[in-house]
Structure 1
Amino acid sequence: MTASASSRVWFVTGASRGLGRAFTEAALAAGDRVVGVARNLSPLDELAAGHPERLLRLPVDVTDREAVFAVTEKAVEHFGRLDVVVNNAGALFAGMVEEFSEAEARAQMELNFFGALWVSQAVMPHLRANGGGHLMQISSIGALGGFPSTGLYSASKFALEGMSEALAAEAAQFGVKVTIVQPGGYWTDLYTSSRATEPNPVYDGLREELQKQWAEGSVDSEPKLAAEAVMKLVASDEPPLRLLLGSMVYDVAFDISRRRMETWAAWEETSRAAEKAVPAP
């Protein structure tokens, strides 16, 4: 498909692999133009050869705020605008909460939260200048609740979602839409490329139990299915603030929400008793 002057311009982080690669391929297949950013761009060589005028590859480490702003300017200079931004770059640091060193905990937050924050800040002026656009924050099932061995990963995604909800309310006046995408399991290298803490033997029993659960109950899909959902989001005039991807994550979301509501209701009397308006001191 030949690109036209009106084709959308995407900015996809973590574009060289996994979901980011699937989003990039889907956008190109739709005739759009894509700025694919990643630390390692070599996996995009073949794709770039097939779309030399519509795929711009730019190297960046999203944890470097200055570099993120610079690469965003290069992207806009090249294609003239940005329309769709997909904050996809991220990684999983696995380990029990007690096991994390300061450096490991900060590294998880730097990539999954601060990296997305820097990209959001860098692209907003350009989306405003266009009079609108769509920013998609790729979150995770890990943001629905805290799970054993992924506590810091969940913390980074909880932070991403809190920031993104506020950003959605702030950006709406400029016609900029924000969607938090919560995927379930996909066949990417999220798990194979994950880093792990030094295991504390007191958690060996829990680890064995978790490994058994994952072996028996893991549901993983082709990344292209997530890309198809994202293309529907882009085509929507009224995209949702949140979108769950997958039956498993859909069911987990409702189960967690019900249990929270049941707990809140059980403690309603205590909650309400903790509030009573008094004059200012």
Structure 2
Amino acid sequence: MSKVWLITGSARGLGRHILDAALAAGHRVVAAARDPGRLADLQAQFGERLRTVELDVTDAAAARAAVQVAIEAFGRLDVLVNNAGYGHIAPLEQVSDDDFRAQIETNFYGVVNLTRAVLPAMRAQRSGHIINISSVGGRIGMAGLAAYQSAKWAVGGFTEVMAREVAPIGIKVVALEPGGMRTDWGTVAGSKIPALLPDYEASVGALLKMFGSYVIPGDPARVAQVVVRIAEHGDPPEHLLLGSDALHFFDQVDAERVRSAEAWRDVSLSTDFDTGPIPAFPDR
């Protein structure tokens, strides 16, 4: 059955793949982008099944206007894909205040703005899917990605809260968490790398070296197919890791968290009232 979609960040990268997949599946789409002119080829091909809008996701009023375009054009809105986002690699100490804040505004508040904007329509319909494109970086931490990964962690928590908040209304909310994909994300992420302070060579420098030799396994076209199928699923997971590297990194980090929690368990329990003295801390 044809559904009505709104996709942010749809002019390039994963967003463009999701747009292509949704249109190929027969859906009607409002494609939002900072530069919708880059979608002229699809507009000519799909005509009335596609609307394009200029959108800066950090602008809450513009988010509401984009939703209104979908309602006026197609009468409803079934699927929101919060895809717009980017990251810059740098040690926190060497990230400007403006750059750090801009990444948080786009990667997190963009999701909040669009989600808030679609809820009245989806609540009236008693149905809808909100699909947040997060990252395995929303489950792990890597040196050099403080702003980007902090925002993605926030997206993960926001997704869980919203999934519980709107489940009784019939709205599904899911965070997709891919690993590396062959898009231009890395080009953008590497576009503002400063000359590292020597003290950060062992941490951020190591990440840069890893990225330099990293063979990216993720196929954005396959991720887009998962997005289309998730939008049809009646009971999607709140979190879904995508890619062998995402599973690898998460498994490593999760195992360490379990080990650490168990090693410090007695200290954790000791902070309740009337539990006796706080025990000695474990050695590493």
> TM-score scaled by structure 2?
0.91
1:194-248 CA-partner distances (Å, limit 9, x unpaired): 3425434222454543233223333233311101111221222211111111011
1:142-183 deviation per Cα after TM superposition (whole angstroms, max 9, x unaligned): 111110111211001111111111111101010000011001
8 Å contact from structure 2 (residues 30, 69) kept in 1: no
Letter of the 1:44 counterpart: L
Aligned to 1:66: 61
Q: 1:201 matched to which residue of 2?
A: 197
Match of 2:87 in 1: 92
Q: How many residues align?
A: 273
Which residue of the partner structure matches residue 227 of structure 2?
Answer: 230
Contact 1:128 1:174 in 2 (8 A): yes
Q: 1:261 aligns with which of 258, 263, 271?
A: 258
Is 1:19 aligned with 2:18? no
Q: Which residue of 1 aligns with 2:156?
A: 161
Q: Does 1:121 align with 2:116?
A: yes
Find the aligned partners of 1:38 and 1:277 in 2 and give their Cα distance. Answer: 57
Residues 1-281 of structure 1 aligned to structure 2 (within 5 Å): 7-194=2-189, 195-196=191-192, 198-202=194-198, 203-276=200-273
| SS of match in other structure, 1:185 | coil
Per-residue CA distance 1:14-65 (angstroms, 9 max, x = gap): 0111111111111111111011001111221111111011111011111111
Amino acid corresponding to residue 102 of structure 1 in structure 2: D
Tell me if structure 1 keeps the 8 A contact 2:90–2:204.
no
Root-mean-square deviation (CA, aligned residues, Å) is 1.7
Is the 2:90–2:193 contact (alpha carbons within 8 Å) kept by the matching residues of 1?
yes
- TM (norm. structure 1) is 0.92
Deviation of the 1:139 alpha carbon: 0.3
Deviates more, 1:168-177 or 1:225-234: 225-234
Amino acid corresponding to residue 18 of structure 2 in structure 1: F
Contact kept in structure 2, 1:100 and 1:197, CA below 8 Å: no
Distance 2:186 2:228 in 1: 25
Q: Is the 8 A contact 1:13 1:87 kept in 2?
A: yes
Structure-1 separation of matches of 2:82 and 2:274: 42
Structure 2's unaligned 5+ residue stretches are 276-284
Cα distance in 1, alignment partners of residues 99 and 209 from structure 2: 26
Query: What's the CA shift for 1:12?
Result: 0.3
CA distance in 1, matches of 2:153, 2:274: 31
- The residue type paired with residue 213 of structure 2 is E
Q: CA deviation at 1:129?
A: 1.1
Contact 2:217/2:245, CA 8 A, preserved across alignment? no
Distance in 1, matches of 2:65 and 2:108, equals 19
Identity %: 37
The 3-state SS of whatever aligns with 1:34 is strand
